[in-house]
Amino acid sequence: MGQLTHVDDKGQALMVDVGGKADTAREAVARGKIIMAASTLELIQQNNVPKGDVLAVARVAGIMATKKTAELIPLCHPLMLTGSKIDFRFDPEAGCVEVEASVRTTGKTGVEMEALTAVSVALLTIFDMCKAADKEMQITDIRLVRKSGGKSGEFKREGEKLWEK
C-alpha cells in the first residue's frame, strides 16, 4: 500500500498539488452492474420502458458525470477530458446490465474517479428509469478495471477481460 496523498502530515484533507507533474496520456476504465428481474431486463432490451430509451439516457448521464466529477468529489481536480465512452452489456443468465466507462485525458492527474463516477451515474440512471417496474434492482460491483499513464503507470485488475466491441 502506498502513502495516502489527500491528507497532510497532521491528517487534514488537502487537494494534491500536481503543478510539478508532467502531462501524460491517461486512461481509466471502470465497470459495474445492476441486477434486476428478467422482465425488467427484457423491457430494456426491447426499448419498451415507458420513460424512454434507458441505455441512451444512461449513456448521456454517464458522459455528463465525467465532466462533473470535480464538483461531486471534493478533492478531485477539474480536468480537460479528451474522451469519454460508455458501453453496456446484457447478461441474461445473471439478470443484469453491465456498464463500462472509458475516460481519457492528457494531463497531470488521472481519470479513475471520472470513470467510476460515470459508471455510478449510468447505473443510477438505469435504476431511476426502471424503478416503476422493479424496485428490487441492486447496483453492485463498481470497480476500477484498468488505468494507464502517470507516475504509477499501468494497473489491470486481475481476472478482468476486455469487452468485445
Active site residues: 128
In sequence order, the 6+-apart residues with CB closer than 8 A to the CB of 33 are 91, 94, 96, 97, 98, 99, 123, 139, 140, 141
- Residue reference for cell 475516460: 103
Q: How far is CA 69 from CA 49, 60, 103, 140, in A?
A: 28, 14, 12, 20
Biggest CA pair distance of the chain: 55
List strands edge to edge, sheet with 138-148. Answer: 81-91, 96-107, 24-35, 138-148, 155-156
Q: Angle at Cα 92 formed by Cα 57 and Cα 64, nearest 5°?
A: 20
